[in-house]
Amino acid sequence: HFDLLLYLYMTMATAIVFSALGYFIGRREQMITELALTDALTALYNKRYFKNRLEQEFERHKRHGTAMSIVQIDLDHFKHVNDTWGHQAGDEVLRHVASVIMANCRKNEIAARTGGEEMSIIACDCAEAEATHLAERLRTGIEESSSFWQGQELKVTASFGVASANQNTDNAWKVCQLADDALYQAKKTGRNKVSVHGS
């Protein structure tokens, strides 16, 4: 009888220890993932890093009057790629577009994947004209290149919204919102184009 109680006690204690251990290992892995700076699929920065840098760069803009622009990017008809060829093909397209973005960004431009097929660039020390030029370069690069999936050539285009911080901008998110508005404008007026806020 005593042996049985001891056995049950040991079994329960072991189970509790292992489940606690499992929980902590799980939490640790989650924390490591959260601390990671890059998006696993595209190798661009992740949304969390983007948010942090956005705040930092906006503070720098406020303090020193440095130029700062945001370029919002959204792939055109991306759902069609996923629906036609499947999500793995979609992933391949995203990887390819990310590589075009990285190849065209300078050191002081922070490119991140901020949504499914949405990407954002913080263009530090970059006025509106330069940011627009960057967006146009990326637009052309994406349009003129291809991804390949199982021998099939996949072509995509992207729409771009550009906005710059100025003395009337209250916060970093306002710049993002204005770039989003410009992106919406690009989508609405035909896609595969660059729209600049206020122009």
pLDDT in tens, 134-178: 999 999 999 999 999 999 999 999 999 999 999 889 899 999 999
Structure tokens at 141: 């690069």
Instruction: Pick the catalytic residue from 34, 117, 128, 130.
Output: 117
Q: Is 117 tagged catalytic?
A: yes
Q: Is the pLDDT of residue 6 over 80?
A: no
* Per-residue pLDDT reduced to its tens digit, 87-131: 999 999 999 999 999 999 988 899 999 999 999 999 999 999 999
Examine the pLDDT at 33 and tell me if it is beyond 70: no
DSSP state of 108: T
CA distances from 14 to 5, 8, 10, 11, 21 (A): 14, 10, 6, 5, 10
Give the pLDDT confidence score for residue 36 in this predicted structure: 82
Q: Which residue has the higher pLDDT, 32 or 54?
A: 54
Q: Which residue has the higher pLDDT, 63 or 20?
A: 63
Q: How much is the pTM? A: 0.82
Say what the pLDDT of residue 34 is: 56
- Half-sphere exposure of residue 8: CA atoms within 13 angstroms, side-chain side: 5
